Every structure is written in structure tokens, then in C-alpha cells.
């Protein structure tokens, strides 16, 4: 068979849980391309351009600070430590970090912060 359709998942850029499902099909109608698509079925293939339902509920109130290990992070691939804290939008910290804050399509906002820096300023215990 030279054609396949697979259901794939896109993750929430904030919490890393599933935010959206999508369907991929192979546009090149060869057995090889079809097999590549088949392999993706049920897998997460990247981040969504918006937050998941749970995170987006806080989009008007907080900016999410996501802890990363800067030693293990690649340039475009931050290594997440699993620490996430919502910080009130009108806080001093959010103001100070404004240039690093990323805004998603649904207006959810987040930024990455080194785990140890976050610890020092009391974001997590
Ligand atoms: Zn989420």
C-alpha cells in the first residue's frame, strides 16, 4: 500500500501534555513514504502553537515559568526539568523578564528559566 494516514499528537509548549491531535498523510505516494507515516501513528511529533486547555485557562492571569537545565539544553531544544510555576502578570518578575516571554497563538505566555535561578528567586522549592 502506498498511502497511509496517521493520527499524531502536538504537545502543549507549557506543560508538555497533549494539546492537539492531527492527521498526517504521505504526499509522496510510495511504499517508503507510506511506511514513514505509519510509524508516526499515535506519536507526539512536536509542539502545538497554542497551550492545552488546562494551561490556557490561566492565560489572562499568569506567565508560566518553565524550569530548564541549561547544561543539558540545546540551542533550540531546552531541557525541561519538569518545574513549572505560574507568575502573576503584573508582578515585578514578569516585568523584568518581558523580553524573554514567548506568546502563543492563544495568548498564553511562558518563558524558560534556569532551574537554579528559579530556585534562588523562590519559584520552586
Ligand atoms: Zn498545558
**Sequential pLDDT tens for the chain (125 residues):** 799 999 999 999 999 999 999 999 999 999 999 999 999 999 999 999 999 999 999 999 999 999 999 999 998 889 999 999 999 999 999 999 999 999 999 999 999 999 999 999 999 98
**Residue 73 shares a structural domain with residue 101:** yes
The answer for residues whose C-beta is within 8 angstroms of residue 46's C-beta and 6 or more apart is 10, 11
| Structural domain that includes position 35 | 5-47
**Within a domain: residue 125?**
no
Query: Rounded to whole angstroms, how far apart are CA atoms 109 and 102?
Result: 6
Please give the distance, rounded to the nearest whole angstrom, from the Cα atom of residue 108 to the centre of ligand 1: 10
The answer for residues whose C-beta is within 8 angstroms of residue 2's C-beta and 6 or more apart is 26, 29, 30, 31, 33, 34
What are the start-end ranges of the H helices in 1-111?
Answer: 31-40, 53-56, 92-96
Please give the distance, rounded to the nearest whole angstrom, from the Cα atom of residue 1 to the centre of ligand 1: 37
Total structural domains in the chain?
A: 2
Give me the sheet containing 5-11, strands edge to edge: 18-25, 5-11, 44-47
**Residue 108 shares a structural domain with residue 88:** yes
Query: Rounded to whole angstroms, how far apart are CA atoms 7 and 13?
Result: 19
Q: What per-residue confidence (pLDDT) applies to 40? A: 97
**Within a domain: residue 53?**
no
**Residue 41 shares a structural domain with residue 64:** no
Please give the distance, rounded to the nearest whole angstrom, from the Cα atom of residue 26 to the centre of ligand 1: 29
Please give the distance, rounded to the nearest whole angstrom, from the Cα atom of residue 16 to the centre of ligand 1: 6
**Within a domain: residue 52?**
no
pTM of the model: 0.88
Q: What per-residue confidence (pLDDT) applies to 76? A: 83
Please give the distance, rounded to the nearest whole angstrom, from the Cα atom of residue 63 to the centre of ligand 1: 12
Amino acid at each position: 500500500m502506498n498511502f497511509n494516514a496517521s493520527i499524531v499528537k502536538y504537545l502543549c509548549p507549557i506543560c508538555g501534555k497533549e494539546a492537539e491531535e492531527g492527521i498526517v498523510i504521505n504526499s509522496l505516494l510510495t511504499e517508503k513514504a507510506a511506511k514513514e507515516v505509519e510509524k508516526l501513528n499515535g506519536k507526539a511529533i512536536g509542539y502545538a502553537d497554542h497551550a492545552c486547555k488546562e494551561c490556557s485557562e490561566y492565560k489572562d492571569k499568569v506567565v508560566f515559568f518553565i524550569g530548564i537545565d541549561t547544561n543539558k539544553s540545546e540551542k533550540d531544544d531546552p531541557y525541561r526539568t519538569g518545574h513549572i510555576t505560574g507568575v502573576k502578570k503584573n508582578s515585578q518578575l514578569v516585568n523584568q523578564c518581558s523580553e524573554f516571554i514567548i506568546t502563543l497563538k492563544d495568548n498564553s505566555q511562558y518563558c524558560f528559566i534556569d532551574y537554579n535561578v528559579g530556585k534562588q528567586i523562590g519559584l520552586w522549592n
